[in-house]
Structure 1
Amino acid sequence: MNTAAPGQPISMEIPWWRDAVVYEIYVRSFADASGDGVGDLEGARRRLPYLAELGVDAIWLTPFYPSPMADGGYDVADYRDVDPLFGTLADFDALVADAHALGLRVLVDVVPNHSSSAHPWFQAALRGEGRDRYIFGDGGDAPPNNWQSTFSGPAWTRLPDGQWYLHLFDSSQPDFNWRNPEVHAEFLDVLRFWLDRGVDGFRIDVAMGLYKAEGLPDLPPDDQSFKAASPIWGRPEVHEVYRQWRKLLDSYPGERIAVGEVWTDSAEDLALYTRPDELHQSFNFAWLEAPWSATAFRKVIDETLATGEAHTWVLSNHDVVRHVTRYGEGLPHSTTGLARARAALLTMLALPGSAYLYQGEELGLPEVTDIPAEARQDPIFIRSQGSLPGRDGCRVPLPWSGTVAPYGFSPEGVTPWLPQPADWVALTAERQASDPGSTLAFYRQALRTRRALRGSLPDRVDWVESPADALVLRRGSLTCAVNCGTEAVPLPPHERVLLGSAPVDGHLLPPDTAVWLHTP
């Protein structure tokens, strides 16, 4: 594990990623150093000391590659460079060097399911050259099958010559044909390019989606799920790709890793991706999707711990409504939502495995629900003609300092690429840093306490008898109790309180609160 304090060399003793805390940087919305209203690599580099002080072990950078930005950079036109919007390769190298000096690992996003339609390969395909690098089909006046885009509408677009191409996302994101060996070779080379520049690993976008069933059969009506038998998702051939990638990663020193964005319908399917010769980790979205419920939490924990060893836990990311708002029943400024979010964080950090944080959650940021239609940029909103809000609400640039927008995200007077709420003045990192009761102070204390405990706790979780709406688990000397009910419940036996998501007085645990207890 990496037990290095900020400023200390990274430890290589045992796999660092087993219990790491990884912080997702959505680059466009983290920090703007160039003054154009868009976050960039230099902005992220300047904020690395903040992340080291927060107490994370690694950062994950969302795509910063050359792109038309039709889908926020997940439409990649060149996998081996930096978009001028975000800086240069020299800026990237400087970020990696500074991160490593602070004891932080660096993961970068790789997008292997699809490219941008501006990618040279697809531009060649439009000219009729090398179309077998992508998935094309003949359907006459109708698409080759009934597949739908996850961004709304048909998953096929017709070219003037009559052929159709597949895009499971936006029409500007054509899907690669992974049955073509050229695609395999291309991505192995892309991985080498970034590994040689010192990255510590990769987050793999749509990791379960590379292969499609031969013959491209129709889906049953209204069935767009992630079932293992789906012709679209989770095809068995994908596992050989990750076996090849694992061999490459293992050939580099320093425990380079791969974590997959894998949406599945069961923990058993998820575990297939993290067999010893495949990915190191895959995201546990069942934890993110669980409602505020002791019963739901225990079910996810039990199912997760029963499969494999590469456990991950995540509450928010750049694709979902922020969990402060989810737990607050959709209300953007719910005190209940914030209380539950803090309690969920403490519960998550008590579990064996690694935790992934999304930028701004340490500030208690809610979803921004009132973005004007003309300011929205998510292709989900655009393709659905506004019937779906899309993901812009969780991607609003961070508030760092000051009393008016852009709150230190950009230089004063610059308008960020998405508008920031006027009432975020109380949520800036600057304001919270001086408040011992703030969410930022709570995150720092929680991560500091977790770092002090890790390595001394077993991976096993033991359940302690608890009231119906509460959950009590033990890992060695650490007991974590969370109250999901509406009434206070008795605290389990303990020697002392280590940390609470809210003040805990006497022997009762208030509603919507979690606590860590030391139990001999």
Structure 2
Amino acid sequence: MLILTGNMPMPLPTETTPNGYVKRWWKEAVVYQVYPRSFYDSNGDGIGDLRGIIEKLDHIKGLGVDVIWLSPHFDSPNADNGYDIREYRKVGAEFGTMQDFDDLLTAIKAAGMRLIIDLVVNHTSDEHEWFVESRSSYNNPKRDYYIWSEHKPNDWPSIFGGPAWTQSPGGDWYLHLFDPKQPDLNWDNPEVRVEVYDIMRFWLDKGVDGFRMDVIPFISKDKTFPNLPEDLRAKPQYLYTTGPHVHDYLHEMNTEVLQQYDVMTVGEAFGVTLQDTPKFVDERRQELDMVFQFAAVEVDRGPDGRWKPWTLPQLKAVFTRQDKALDHHGWPTMFLSNHDNPRIVSRYGDDRPEWREKSAMLLATLILTMKGTPFIYQGDELGLTNRTFTHIDQFNDLWTKNAWQDEVENGPCSEADFFANQNKVSRDHARMPMPWTAQGGFTTGQAWFALNPNFTEINAESSQTIYRFYADLIALRHAEPALVYGDYSDLAPAHPHLFTYTRTLGDTTFLICLNFSVEITAFESGVESEPVLSNYASPFGPMRGWEARIYKV
């Protein structure tokens, strides 16, 4: 039986835009993601920490962002870099103390920003006290907190590779859609949901402004445990997001907790199709505010999840499909990078020295003028690039190490092919420590993970041109409601190099022109317009290599 709070919901705003959107602060915000382990180390132990974020807070504030998203800072054995939580109400010792967290939250608020944190409640660490008790005996009160079976029920694979079922020393099998050290919680047990809601209130009552919810569509499981259809063998996430009660539980979470606070929620919708996205974010359903829809960051992935070439019309089509999938009752996110994806300049731009800055600024223009709440990942504002890995020991990520075992040690993949793919797709590209100076500047000790070897040339001190361009774009977005709420239209969906689109609200229209190539390309706006911002000094005539222009029509 759920314990109802009895609290009255927060009154929702009713002011609407001319095209029908209800105005909310999180729709107008720009979010900056901090991966604390790799941001800045304040004490020389080689690991980024909460005090380090406080020391570098001016760097974030200088961009003009509104919200900081803090990746997991909880106590964890770090089998999956913090996404395996051992204690939800405790700060990981490597990051500091709860007092450090409170000081960080105070500093963020004093700087005029808000803070959201990760909510990782599809699974816990196998070292969490709930799981320790759950596996201790059949009669333990926490036994039903996880999903157990006397036999291996089906052929479900883990997202990280290998089977999703592991046999415990007692003989029973438990479900883990990720690593064996990340057992899945049993959300069908109402006591589990009460525990989760209590954890949420703990952080919200501290003053946190919302949550990024890790793989939240996975929380409901089909307890008939059907085998995976053959066409989903490479992408099981498309089955794992279709549990029978996922929307019941998200609505209950909203009713029981979220409606009592003025907060934002964004769900990691890994495996959720564009067609199903409105079920999660339609404001009339009272579930989530937004989700991260993965179509744009899967444009360079084949059916097997490996890298494949992509074209600009394919990327443009994603944004058009997303725009058509959501009406004014739903709100999108705009992101091309995070801790789970390679660096955007190497992925969507051109990381050669002569084009890195221009393409980094072009991608910033796309992110900050597209429809949806924009999310910037640490280092995007510096134009950080991928590195070239040449040996498996250079990687840290569990996913890559499992892929090495599956593809090279036990599979047909050659080492050369493996590295060619991982140098395109590895999550480790984004997880390397931030380079603050030409000497590295991340730590006075030995960094937990090697910096990109190009830190001597690409660092915070040397990348101020890109940083200032991000700040200018964010200021423009804040000043112009049309760049937040404006309707979107792609003007040349088939053009192989130019991405030209408009954002229109009432009688205000912005025209954005982006040249995704080094080729000089003819361009005529066709309308009377005024240049507002560009990554070149004179935004006139043909579009130059990786040129970005914003016009006010």
TM-score after normalising by structure 2: 0.83
Match of 2:375 in 1: 356
How many Å separate the matches in 1 of 2:481 and 2:271? 29
Against the structure 1 CA distance between its residues 338 and 113, is the aligned structure 2 distance closer, same or farther, given a 3 Å change threshold? Answer: farther
SS of 1:244 mapped into structure 2: helix
How many Å separate the matches in 2 of 1:215 and 1:497? 59
Match of 1:73 in 2: 82
SS of 2:514 mapped into structure 1: strand
Listed one character per residue, the Cα deviations across residues 312-359 of structure 1 (whole Å, up to 9, x for unaligned) are 110101111112122258xx6565566444323212321232101111
Size of the aligned set, in residue pairs, is 491
Match of 2:116 in 1: 107
Against the structure 1 CA distance between its residues 518 and 467, is the aligned structure 2 distance closer, same or farther, given a 3 Å change threshold? Answer: farther
Paired amino acid for 1:314: F
Aligned-residue RMSD, C-alpha: 2.4
Query: Could you tell which deviates more after superposition, 264-273 or 220-229?
Result: 220-229
Report if aligned partners of 2:372, 2:484 keep a CA contact under 8 Å in 1. no
C-alpha deviation, 1:250, in angstroms:
4.4
Aligned counterpart for 2:295 among listed residues 286, 289, 294: 286
Match of 2:396 in 1: 377
How many Å separate the matches in 1 of 2:238 and 2:163? 21
Listed one character per residue, the Cα deviations across residues 27-79 of structure 1 (whole Å, up to 9, x for unaligned) are 10011112110011111122111111111110101111111011000000011
How many Å separate the matches in 2 of 1:458 and 1:99? 26
Please, which runs of 5 or more residues in structure 2 have no aligned partner?
1-21, 301-309, 408-417
SS of 1:471 mapped into structure 2: strand
Listed one character per residue, the Cα deviations across residues 279-326 of structure 1 (whole Å, up to 9, x for unaligned) are 011013223333664422332222222214311110101111112122
Aligned counterpart for 1:426 among listed residues 457, 460, 480: 457
Against the structure 1 CA distance between its residues 136 and 318, is the aligned structure 2 distance closer, same or farther, given a 3 Å change threshold? Answer: same
Report if aligned partners of 1:22, 1:57 keep a CA contact under 8 Å in 2. yes
Match of 1:295 in 2: 313
C-alpha deviation, 1:100, in angstroms:
0.9
- Superposition pairs for residues 85-484 of structure 1, below 5 Å? 85-128=94-137, 129=140, 130-139=142-151, 143-221=152-230, 223-224=232-233, 230=239, 232-253=240-261, 255-264=262-271, 266-276=273-283, 277-290=286-299, 293-306=311-324, 307-308=326-327, 309-327=330-348, 333=352, 339-370=358-389, 372-385=391-404, 387=407, 389=422, 390-401=426-437, 403-404=438-439, 407-411=440-444, 414-433=445-464, 438-454=465-481, 458-464=485-491, 468-469=495-496, 470-475=498-503, 476-484=508-516
Listed one character per residue, the Cα deviations across residues 88-126 of structure 1 (whole Å, up to 9, x for unaligned) are 111111111111111111000010110000000111122
How many Å separate the matches in 2 of 1:190 and 1:466? 46
Query: Could you tell which deviates more after superposition, 510-519 or 311-320?
Result: 510-519
Report if aligned partners of 1:285, 1:314 keep a CA contact under 8 Å in 2. no
Aligned counterpart for 1:498 among listed residues 529, 532, 539: 532
How many Å separate the matches in 1 of 2:48 and 2:528? 46
Listed one character per residue, the Cα deviations across residues 217-252 of structure 1 (whole Å, up to 9, x for unaligned) are 11023524668972x223241112221222245443
TM-score after normalising by structure 1: 0.88
Match of 2:54 in 1: 45
How many Å separate the matches in 2 of 1:48 and 1:184? 35
How many Å separate the matches in 2 of 1:240 and 1:379? 32
Query: Could you tell which deviates more after superposition, 175-184 or 338-347?
Result: 338-347
How many Å separate the matches in 2 of 1:228 and 1:150? 7
How many Å separate the matches in 2 of 1:281 and 1:304? 13
How many Å separate the matches in 1 of 2:495 and 2:533? 23
Paired amino acid for 1:448: A
How many Å separate the matches in 1 of 2:164 and 2:133? 21
Against the structure 1 CA distance between its residues 182 and 467, is the aligned structure 2 distance closer, same or farther, given a 3 Å change threshold? Answer: closer
SS of 1:190 mapped into structure 2: helix
How many Å separate the matches in 1 of 2:237 and 2:81? 29
Paired amino acid for 1:261: E
Against the structure 1 CA distance between its residues 430 and 195, is the aligned structure 2 distance closer, same or farther, given a 3 Å change threshold? Answer: same
Identity of aligned residues (%): 33
SS of 1:273 mapped into structure 2: helix
